[in-house]
Structure 1
Amino acid sequence: MHDSVAVSPRNVKGSLKRRDEMALKVSNLMKRDGYAFQVPETFTPESIEAPKPNIWAPLTVNETKSAYTILKDKFNLTASENATLYDNYVVWITLINPNKTDALDFLEGNKTAPLRYARAVIFFGGEDFAKEDEPIGYWQTYQVGPLLAENQDIEVVKMDWAFTKSHFSYMQGYRDNLRWNLDFAFYEELFQTDMVKELSEDLIGVPAYGLENSTMEVWNCDPLIFDKETNSLFSWGTVFLDNKWSAGDILPTGLFIKTNVTGRDVSDFSVVQWVYNNVAYNTTEEFYEAWKSEEFVKLPQAPQEQEWTNPGRAEGAETRPLDEKTSPIVVEPEGRRWQFSEEDRYFTWMDWSFYISYSRDGGVLFFDVKFKGERILYELALQEAIAEYAGDDPFQANTAYLDTSYGWGNNAYGLIPGYDCPANAVYFNSTWNTDGKNHYQNNTYCAYEAVEDYPITRHTSRKYVSVAKAPSFNIRFVATIGNYDYNFNYKFFMDGTLKVSVRAAGFIQGAYYNPETGGDFGYKIQDVLSGSFHDHVINFKADFDIGGTENRVTNVALKAANRTFPWDPNTVYNTKIKERSIYDIETSLNLADTGVLLVESANQNNTWGNPKAYRIEGSLGHRIAEKAVKLAENANWADHDLHFTRQKDTEYTSSGVFNANSVFEPQVNFSDFLDEESIDGEDVVCWFNLALHHLPNTQDIPGTIFTTAESNFVMTPYNYFDSEQSRDTRQQFLFLTNEKSFDFFGTELQDTLYSINQLDVNSFNYEGIEFGKDTTNLPSN
């Protein structure tokens, strides 16, 4: 395998290459708990039993084997390791979550657990299932089940009920490893031709792509460009340079290539256009002749081995005052204050409870989220993310990644204890199924209790001082999609508030800075590097159940008003008022245009006559660019900050893997969800967007930092209870001024029960994934 590879910044091969390199640096560094705490057993809570089995748990080994066996026999599947694009092979097998009605009947009554079904995606490239209108193959999504039934009872049906379409042509379908390998082969052959080898080595200054010692990387952008008139497929690529820090993302060369990638035979691929220094050349010969001419202008190139690309501590840097001391860590003086069921991934903390599931597409997923025994959310789940770029070159101008196509769960490579999560965190392993095999990864997400750096409430009077701590419970996972590490955090507070946040760090996808045309799209931030302006818009599903499933969405506008009053009828008072309105039908909103936005119970009030509600606030956002051909009918959920729709089992996700390249007829067209159905007194789903509008600057070099690259969504009780709900915590201090007495309510700090040793670096397996492992739910210990 050559050191240089053709990659998409988010493709599997490129990601695995980067991860393998990192694994060499941090091998033998992981264990379940970050520090070697010696804790008396009496202070470590025993595992608890979930009230009901986790009906959303990932498929077991037996379930996936059952589904795969049925599919293999029915469709003459070839094992993935032996498959070519001329065979039939399975791409994914994953759980179909049960219908909500069935789930609630099970959770709230005595009905049996819903039957389990799998979603399976198969590529058909063989002749036995060929279609006349799909001569080069197609993808088809099936529903398989019920699982573990007698074989004659298991049905395999097209999953048309859940998607705009469940069938995709090879041309507009998924780019798996086999398809990427076609690009690798084409570029390798192209760059070894006499003309391209000669000119590329001269313009870029390193051996040509494909040679053993080459540091060229050829990247292809998403989405592929489909020409409906000619039924042809095109791709824009660019050349970056690699170095010892895998910093190709920020070492652009300014060379771009458009190729015709129609079909499964790489010999049919061809160069359509070259672009260099804002000049387009329609053939390689034309480019070569221009390069040989005296008028040709070569762009300067940045040296590869620049120390500024080092993401670690700069060599020779001075030590900050006292920085040689270990930074503070979180400890739990009397042991862990939360519990979980390993078998069912059921968690409880301070009147919160919920189930966690895990999937290749969405990573960590939450179900049946309750506070003080009342369901607040039926489901909270990551759906999709776009990274849409702007720039003066064809690569940036045509780039709009949809990251679910690469997968969130399968790209959570393992958290570094004591760094990604605090020292007291517990780590959990996860599994998923791709290519007909079960994959396992350790430390994919963590759980921990922390305390905020402010009290949850405080008051001082002449008679007393009262202050209460603000502990929180956190679930966190980090997914690395190509060049960005996304840090997802779900934070539960004592008062019933839940905060979802995402932060982004890593290398930017840089552009070559052209002083004549690049200024509108980004700053010059290194010798030849521009910080290409882009949006991250990340979509979530929040299925609210506020006082049951009969909800409504209201807005309380805060408005200026002129009023007179009976006690002073001759004076007009300039004042302000609240004005409540109800959204009758499915709607899309931007948070800046609302006042106090609420999801209310349609039939339950608190004692004071106010509808029980949860307020929605935060730093939401949407894409800046107007609808363009590069996304066409795709990712319409990104056009507003949030949307409210009526819950339907057939509208279970806002996007799909095949949305990435089928932009004209996406797998899920979110616009279809907004069909003016009533949401007044109905089961309401909120689809919200966390957004980062990223204009990189020199503080993003070498890497973007989590400090400011953050967006959040907050759900907080609003007239839901009769009073504020943290008052029952013992984590308070009360000082009575006149009596000179104080009360810790039984939580005086005792001597620490921990003996904390240095970080154990002997048992961390960063690579983590095992192929074909016969388990899907290994203990997290």
Structure 2
Amino acid sequence: MKFLGVLTLTLSAITLTDAISPRQAKAKSQDQLYTKRSESYIKRDTLCSPSFPKEAVPPKANIWADLDTVETKDVFDLLKNTYPLTPFENATLFDNYLMWIELLRPNKTSATDYLDNNGAVPDRYARASIFFGSEEYTSEEYPNGYWQELQIGPLGKNGTNPEVSELDWLYTKSKVAYEVGYKDPIRFDAVTDFYEREFLSEDLLPVLIDLVGEEIKWFGQDNSTVDCWGTDPLQFNKTTGRVTNWATIFINYQDAEDITPTGLFLNTDITGRNSSEFFIAKWVYNNIAYNSTEDFIKAYESPDFVKLPTIDTSKLNSTDGFVYIGQKGETRELDEKLAPIVVEPQGRRWKVNEEQRYFTWMDWEFYVAWSRDVGLTLYDLKFKGERIAFEIGLQEAIAEYAGDDPFQAHTAYFDRSYGFGNEAFGLIPGFDCPYNAEMFNTTWHSQGSNNYQNNSYCAFEFVEDYGLARHAASEYTGVTKNPTFNLRSITTIGNYDYNFLYKFYLDGTFEVSVRAAGFIQGAYYNPDTGSPFGYRVNEVLSGSFHDHVLNFKADFDIAGTSNKVSTTALKPANFTYPWDPERVYSTKIKERSVVQNETYLNWADAGGVLLIESADQNNTWGNPKAYRAIYGGGDARRIAQNSVTIGKNAEWASHDLIFTKQKDSELQSSHVLNANDLEDPIVDISKYVDGENLDGEDLVCWFNLALHHLPNTNDIPNTIFSTAESGIVFTPFNYFDSEQSRDTLQQMYYEYETSEWDFNGVDVNPQCDIEIEPLAFHDVNYYGVTVGKDTTNIPSP
């Protein structure tokens, strides 16, 4: 698809036929004030030449930039020379192998000394995740080996050889036992081999084919139309040492297996690392449990066995099937025309230094970093030269399900374990991001190779569909446009596409939001027991109720690092005024209190207004400089509080917010290895909340965005971004002496009596043709990554 090379843009001149008097304006005789469309186009002999501004000049180097290929190779070679590592492509669960290498980002103390005090550039360190499974690394404590986090550095420092050490200062522990460790591809393949062996057995295969559908090709066969996978987390019994996992069987057409369930569930014992010793401990079908495969087959062969309805698979692999997400049906009137697009008639209004990933726009400036685990993170976020936050970024996302079957009841995904950075496949120009967006490429290191992805995130300016400020008075009308600067990334993890957006406004406000689309993880609908957990949304499909709770870190520095948290309740009150002492007035008041110590909070606790304040700086009017946090609505926490799927590994999800004192050793709220380690996770945020004083301290806000998703037929075939959304706004609150968008030229002022229009020198009627570059669809590599390239800081196309 190509867009036409030239777009004709014509804006008619604004005209006012008659001036109106202040009296008429005050009377709001709006029919006297109008604009008139020009009756003919103005002849244009020129072509607009939109310009790109010069590259932004960062005040400092991006100290959060990912490791370059030289650094990565040095670390990889050092680890190979230090430990007996097997190349990942040849490794088994009985070997040692490397999973990830990435930058260990500098601590805040060193970073701010460099940024603010001309201190030394922080030393560069890497962190590595290695599985140690060879015999010499097993023990009574770790009979099947363990995962370990290591620190390597300093890197690239003349006269200093990098050292490898345990990364125990950052975590509650540096080792995680295999039993509750990462489900890496090697472990996943072992379980898959086990499924194939069991399902293709002579006794079981005919049963499964009959219960699922005669037309399918079974799991393990060529071109299989069936899939089977176990849910997260694994169930580890510390007393017995057994590891079990609930799995289910799906029909898989058009990658829509999440909405094509079969009602077959199995509990597998996957203890140890030898898949030949795995076995199926239980089957569940039609709400009946069978304690062995033999019992299941025997029940199936009995005359009173009830067979559940199956999906008509003949309808799935076509454009008429309910799983098809492409265009179908009668077209709508005028829909063949291209939908409106964003253009920049006089050129781009923001700057970037691509090598340093440093952005500036309308008095905003910040650095961007990327990681395999969490994707985008913003650092050193400043407005009008003052730091608002040292760090803003995603930490973790859980998806916790409810349902009447064992698969849904045991599901709680920790999506950081799958990765937000490595699963951010190429954004589609003009669809995921507007026409005027610039795309940026990313890199990360895994399994001994450098990985590259193009179009991982985009940046663009956008004009919101409402003004930022407006007033029509008795003598004038003034309106301010509302341009915003936006950073977007979209990560597809399994069935869901997460759309992340960081949005910046002219007045110093910024917004963090997430939207979700994709396939729901549906359940087989049982009319007797399924209703409390979801609606029936297709033949045999139930939309399982579930929570998406996403945790973010916001390290605020409001007018410095001496901050506090206050809540202001807006409450009814009875009040007697000195000018009317005989009467009691029913009114309302504000009642402020300061949060004294580290704590968990819910939005209801804030009483109406939640502020992150400066502890020692006031504005001219004597109010503490502050930013207000405004959540989009509802609870931002998980609903179930004591489930079998989440323990101490997601304590942050039990409340809407957490406030802690900033510490260099309390860097993150979650970790890849938290997903299966419920009771003793490598990162336990509850240990951060130990009652330390917050008043006048450098503090961190760990806030949640949540989507409490009760699927309905509007989620079939896909959940849509417009309804599955959650966001938070951080806005100046007494931070400045007045609202800060008054200095923008993007506003108009009209005086009625003189009929004068003032556009501050901005040409609001550009009369020319605008050349639009064709969308670069060839730059999209939707098969994921290119391996083995020198890709660090590679320029975007």
Same-fold status (TM-score > 0.5): yes
Q: Distance in 1 between matches of 2:48 and 2:137?
A: 62
1:386-425 matches, within 5 Å, as 386-425=398-437
Aligned-partner residue type, residue 283 of structure 1 = S
Mean CA deviation greater in 202-211 or 718-727: 202-211
Q: Distance in 1 between matches of 2:206 and 2:585?
A: 80
Shift of 1:466: 0.4
Contact 2:435 2:775 in 1 (8 A): no
Q: 1:57 is matched with which residue?
A: 65
Q: Distance in 2 between matches of 1:761 and 1:349?
A: 27
2:524 to 512, 515, 522: 512
Aligned-partner residue type, residue 141 of structure 2 = D
Q: 1:524 is matched with which residue?
A: 536
Aligned-partner residue type, residue 120 of structure 1 = A
1:758–1:68 CA distance, 2 compared to 1 (3 A): closer
1:747 to 748, 751, 762: 762
Shift of 1:706: 0.5
Q: Distance in 2 between matches of 1:761 and 1:340?
A: 23
1:625-774 matches, within 5 Å, as 625-749=640-764, 750-752=766-768, 754-756=770-772, 759-774=775-790
Mean CA deviation greater in 141-150 or 442-451: 141-150
**CA deviation string 1:136-182 (max 9, x = no partner):** 21111011100123686311111111111210111110010000001
Secondary structure at 1:171 match in 2: helix
Secondary structure at 2:109 match in 1: helix
Q: Distance in 2 between matches of 1:599 and 1:96?
A: 28
Shift of 1:132: 4.1
2:373 to 334, 339, 361: 361
Mean CA deviation greater in 694-703 or 210-219: 210-219
Contact 2:410 2:644 in 1 (8 A): no
Q: Distance in 2 between matches of 1:606 and 1:113?
A: 34
Q: 2:284 is matched with which residue?
A: 275
Q: Percent identity?
A: 55
Q: 2:441 is matched with which residue?
A: 429
Q: Distance in 2 between matches of 1:161 and 1:213?
A: 49
Q: Distance in 2 between matches of 1:202 and 1:302?
A: 12
1:171-320 matches, within 5 Å, as 171-205=179-213, 206-243=216-253, 245-304=254-313, 305-306=315-316, 307-315=320-328, 317-320=329-332
Q: Distance in 1 between matches of 2:499 and 2:703?
A: 17
Shift of 1:529: 0.1
Q: Distance in 2 between matches of 1:384 and 1:327?
A: 35
**CA deviation string 1:438-471 (max 9, x = no partner):** 1000000000000000000001111000001000
Structure 1 residue 604 corresponds to structure 2 residue 620: no
Shift of 1:613: 0.1
Contact 1:36 1:760 in 2 (8 A): no
Secondary structure at 1:520 match in 2: helix
Mean CA deviation greater in 585-594 or 166-175: 585-594
Secondary structure at 1:450 match in 2: strand
Q: 2:382 is matched with which residue?
A: 370
Shift of 1:41: 6.9
Gaps in structure 2 of 5+ consecutive residues: 8-46
RMSD: 1.6
Contact 2:49 2:771 in 1 (8 A): no
1:538-617 matches, within 5 Å, as 538-594=550-606, 595-617=608-630
Shift of 1:67: 1.1
Aligned-partner residue type, residue 374 of structure 2 = G
Q: 2:465 is matched with which residue?
A: 453
2:507 to 478, 489, 495: 495
**CA deviation string 1:529-556 (max 9, x = no partner):** 0000000000000000000000000011
**CA deviation string 1:337-361 (max 9, x = no partner):** 0000011000000000000000001
Structure 1 residue 47 corresponds to structure 2 residue 63: no
Gaps in structure 1 of 5+ consecutive residues: 1-28
Secondary structure at 2:620 match in 1: coil
Aligned-partner residue type, residue 77 of structure 1 = L
Contact 1:35 1:423 in 2 (8 A): no
Shift of 1:320: 1.0
1:101–1:404 CA distance, 2 compared to 1 (3 A): same
Structure 1 residue 76 corresponds to structure 2 residue 88: no
1:167–1:41 CA distance, 2 compared to 1 (3 A): farther
**CA deviation string 1:659-710 (max 9, x = no partner):** 1001111111111111000110000100000000001000000000001100
Contact 1:62 1:148 in 2 (8 A): no
**CA deviation string 1:202-228 (max 9, x = no partner):** 101133321114311002100000011
1:161-180 matches, within 5 Å, as 161-180=169-188
Q: 1:10 is matched with which residue?
A: none
Structure 1 residue 114 corresponds to structure 2 residue 122: yes
Aligned-partner residue type, residue 689 of structure 2 = L
Q: Distance in 2 between matches of 1:48 and 1:271?
A: 60
Contact 1:311 1:703 in 2 (8 A): no
Contact 1:139 1:170 in 2 (8 A): yes
Aligned-partner residue type, residue 733 of structure 1 = M
Aligned-partner residue type, residue 682 of structure 1 = E
Q: Distance in 2 between matches of 1:209 and 1:254?
A: 16
Secondary structure at 2:526 match in 1: coil
Shift of 1:308: 3.9
Q: Distance in 2 between matches of 1:373 and 1:758?
A: 37
Q: Distance in 2 between matches of 1:53 and 1:391?
A: 50
Q: Distance in 2 between matches of 1:310 and 1:504?
A: 18
Aligned-partner residue type, residue 222 of structure 1 = D
Aligned-partner residue type, residue 253 of structure 1 = T
Contact 1:389 1:396 in 2 (8 A): yes
**CA deviation string 1:605-633 (max 9, x = no partner):** 00000000000012261000012232122
Q: Distance in 1 between matches of 2:235 and 2:784?
A: 35
2:151 to 143, 155, 160: 143
Q: 1:92 is matched with which residue?
A: 100
Q: Distance in 2 between matches of 1:572 and 1:433?
A: 69
Q: Distance in 1 between matches of 2:502 and 2:112?
A: 24
1:763–1:37 CA distance, 2 compared to 1 (3 A): farther
Contact 2:100 2:447 in 1 (8 A): yes
Contact 1:413 1:479 in 2 (8 A): yes
Shift of 1:313: 3.6
1:151–1:170 CA distance, 2 compared to 1 (3 A): farther
Secondary structure at 1:194 match in 2: coil
Q: Distance in 1 between matches of 2:109 and 2:90?
A: 42
Q: Distance in 2 between matches of 1:762 and 1:156?
A: 42
Aligned-partner residue type, residue 187 of structure 1 = Y
Q: Distance in 2 between matches of 1:130 and 1:263?
A: 12
Q: Distance in 2 between matches of 1:756 and 1:581?
A: 54
Shift of 1:748: 2.2
Max Rg structure = 2
Contact 1:35 1:760 in 2 (8 A): no
Aligned-partner residue type, residue 792 of structure 2 = T
Q: 1:14 is matched with which residue?
A: none
Q: 1:8 is matched with which residue?
A: none
Shift of 1:755: 1.9
Contact 1:35 1:418 in 2 (8 A): no
Q: 1:334 is matched with which residue?
A: 346
**CA deviation string 1:331-385 (max 9, x = no partner):** 0110000000011000000000000000001101100000000000000010001
1:752–1:679 CA distance, 2 compared to 1 (3 A): farther
Secondary structure at 2:744 match in 1: coil
